Structure 1
Amino acid sequence: MPSNDRVTVGDVMSTPLETISKDATVREAAQRMRDADISALVVTTTPRAIISSTDVLDAVAGGDDVSALRVSDVMTTDVETATPDLYMEEVAAMMATYGIKHLPVVEDDYVGMISSTDVTAHLS
């Protein structure tokens, strides 16, 4: 792997990309994240969207029935994205600027996901 200052998103992004339908329940999303040991799923919609463990926690803490609540009710839409050729420092700056922990990675279509945990691991 390249030295830390040359590590790109493509070097460390999570693949294959885990996705979920906007019509799935929040409970299903939580189960998928747990089973895959990840903290966000790309929602297969236009515009781009994700559901994160924070979205699930907010729904549970709000008293919502996550067995009936749909992903579309809690997902984050119009998400920022990264490309595989971005350097980790650039992604770290994007996450700090937008206050986010996950960035779907896209070329023509989704190709992976990068998280703040990935960034921290490669910049420390």
Structure 2
Amino acid sequence: MKVRDVMASKGSSEVFTVLPDATVAELLDRLADLNVGALVVSADGSSMVGIVSERDIVRKLRGTSNARETKIADIMTTDVRVCAPDDSFAALMVMMTEHRVRHVPVLEDGKVVGVLSIGDAVKHRMEQLEFERDQLTSYVAGG
């Protein structure tokens, strides 16, 4: 199973981005409007300079005065864990677990072609397990 398969089962490969010079106030509105937990930070909408997540907001703005006016570039994560469409799904799961990341951008030829969340990965794994269960049940029942 490849990352590409998970992206296909997700149904949408739309990548939501935010500009590095946007403010945290703008970020909060965008996260809420899109109902997502992270955005790729990009100046042009396809190349990535970082990622900003709910965790970044909580960890990096604690105790900051006028936090809503802070620029995304000041709080984003720049050491981003990424994967490629042809990477194995198992490797993606290991990376997310070992590095404790919830959102992984998918890069192809240097461009962001998707973002997979831990929720996407768990949902896909549950679907795999349900399929295997159904196959075993059918086999045992003689069908």
Tell me which stretches of 4 or more aligned residues in structure 1 moved more than 4 Å. none
Cα distance between partner residues in 2 of 1:123 and 1:69 = 38
| TM-score, structure 1 normalization | 0.83
Q: Contact 1:59–1:74 at 8 Å: present in 2 too?
A: yes
Residues 94, 110 of structure 1: alpha-carbon distance in 2 compared, 3 angstrom cutoff = same
1:49-69 per-position Cα deviation (integer Å, ceiling 9, x unaligned) = 100011122345434423210
Q: Which residue of 1 aligns with 2:90?
A: 89
Cα distance between partner residues in 2 of 1:119 and 1:62 = 33
Q: Which residue of 1 aligns with 2:131?
A: none
Identity %: 32
- How many corresponding residue pairs? 120
Q: Contact 1:27–1:67 at 8 Å: present in 2 too?
A: yes
Select between 32-41 and 76-85 the one with higher mean Cα deviation: 76-85
Aligned-residue CA RMSD in angstroms? 2.2
Larger RCO: 1 or 2 (CA < 8 Å, sep 6+): 1
Q: 1:15 aligns with which of 5, 13, 16?
A: 13
Q: Which runs of 5+ in 1 are unaligned?
A: none
Q: 1:119 aligns with which of 114, 118, 121?
A: 121
| TM-score, structure 2 normalization | 0.73
Q: Which runs of 5+ in 2 are unaligned?
A: 127-143
Q: 1:38 aligns with which of 18, 36, 39?
A: 36
Larger radius of gyration: 2
Cα distance between partner residues in 2 of 1:74 and 1:103 = 17
